[in-house]
Amino acid sequence: MKRRISLLCLMAAMLVMVPLLQACGKAGDSGGKVELTMSAWGNPAELKVYQRAIDAYEEKNKNVSVKLIPIPSDGYEQKLLTELSGGAGADVFYVGDTTMAKLVKSNSVLPLADFLKTDASYTKAEEYAEGLWGAAKQGEELYGITVDCNPYVMYYNIKLFKEAGLKTPQQYFDEGTWNWDTFKEVTATFKSMNKYGFVQEKGSLPMLNWVWSNGGNMYDKEGSYVYDKDPKAQEAIAYIADLVKSGGVIYGGSLPKGQGMDAMFMSQQVAMVTAGRWLTPMFSENKSLEFDYIPWPTNTPEKTNPSGIAVAYVAVNKNSKQQEEAKKFLSFYVSKEGQKARLADTGNAVPSVAGIDEVVLDTGIPAHANYLLTGRDIGIAPGSPQTYYAQIPGLSNEVEDLYDLMLLGKASSEETIENISSIVKKKTEEAK
């Protein structure tokens, strides 16, 4: 009898527990609070911008809270990789362009392609230009989405061009003469005025912009290395090396200590620099500075060629306990609504999603902001087939070190291509 009573008590207790266990498994659906975390780098002003999109998401999803975890940019990648290898880390996190391939290879991030096709997603894959995916796209699968983007353009100082008695780059462009020959003549004119025509950086994208402006490639559209076989690419590297040697163009690594290219541009010492939109807020605050954007000068029949795009991604931690909610939040963060919440009035980046171009155009600063949108639509992000170097750990830094030697005059363009080819072969084999 006692055994029967005990069994009945146990069954009754189990019946009571079943709904409780079900409630725990569906906390978000039954009114419980879903708590997500997102880690990102950024200065205090940038973190406030990120928070705007978080606040907008929480307003739409009252049962969700998202905690932003700032991590210093120095050491961000190492901290992220360490956390993920230990089964920890935030639910959603920012990923640098050269880190993305590592996370895909280590199986640390969730695939997103199927989720983006569902009604639960705030955005769709086709809303992003093909050149923006970079290493986040492997075959037909997607492992991250660009937060926003920054296509490289040239900034030019309108006042300096007028002082030199030159047409502006835009006038040359309109005439169809914004090309390599004009660029060489323009930089020589500024040298004769004891000024610099342009500041060249050693980064792979600022260097490859010259290659693409000549119809060349470092990697072809299938991701095969062709630098050592492509005469157009080699001609472009020789062209910029010669301009630096002539003195009309100065290497950024040779600038006087404490003199950045932005400061030299604002102080009328240099006529042109290259960057994404991130210099625009600072330049627009300088009321004595007149500036505008222009695409890279061309040496092809096309007036505008592809240029590099600086990007960062957001991805979902494979170890997240709230995977579906994390994917939903990520899709909002990079959607039209999420990017508009972040980018409105900040002016330091370009939407990676189509449909909110007014964020860039409405201010009218500078006059030809549309070149950023063209750059986004036809440009190339690191980790794409034509920038495959970004998918090989450590290769980007070694290539930049070799560009550095060339721009300092310590190696010829031919030696530089030869040395880059050797290190590409070595690093590619090591990565297999």
The one-letter code for the residue type at 329 is F
R_g of the chain, CA atoms, integer Å? 25
278 pLDDT above the threshold of 70: yes
Position 16 scores a pLDDT of 39
The reported pLDDT for the residue numbered 31 is: 57
User: Can you give the pLDDT at residue 6?
Assistant: 46
Picking from 100, 42, 91, the residue whose alpha carbon sits closest to that of residue 65 is: 91
Does position 18 have pLDDT exceeding 60, yes or no? Answer: no
pTM of the model: 0.88
Per-residue model confidence (pLDDT) at position 346: 65
User: How much is the pLDDT for 258?
Assistant: 81
Backbone phi, then psi, for 137, in 5-degree steps?
-110, 120
- pLDDT for 234 equals 99
> Which residues are CB-neighbours of 46 under 8 A, at least 6 positions away?
none
pLDDT digits (tens, 9 = 90+) for 357-377: 999 999 899 999 999 999 999
Q: Look at 119-123, 347-351, 388-392 and tell me which has the smallest mean pLDDT.
A: 347-351
Query: Residue 19 has what pLDDT?
Result: 36
pLDDT of residue 260 exceeding 60, the answer is yes
List of domains in the chain: 33-148+311-361 (3.40.190.10), 153-307+392-431 (3.40.190.10)
* pLDDT score of 28: 44
pLDDT at position 256? 83
pLDDT band at 257 (very low <50, low <70, confident <90, very high): confident
Long-range contacts of 213-218 (CB under 8 A, 24+ apart): 213/180, 213/296, 213/297, 213/298, 213/299, 213/300, 213/305, 213/307, 214/180, 214/239, 214/299, 214/300, 215/299, 215/300, 215/305, 217/386, 218/386, 218/387, 218/389
pLDDT digit string, tens, across residues 386-414: 999 999 988 999 999 999 999 999 999 99
Would you state the torsion angle of the CA atoms of residues 11, 16, 19, 24, taken in this order, to the nearest 10 degrees?
Answer: -110
> In the prediction, which pLDDT does 20 show?
31
Reported confidence tier of residue 4, pLDDT bands at 50, 70, 90: very low
Asked whether the CA dihedral 39, 41, 46, 47 is positive or negative, the reply is: positive
Length of the chain: 432
pLDDT tens digit sequence for 162-221: 999 999 999 999 999 999 999 999 999 999 999 999 999 999 999 999 999 999 999 999
Q: What pLDDT was estimated at residue 10?
A: 42
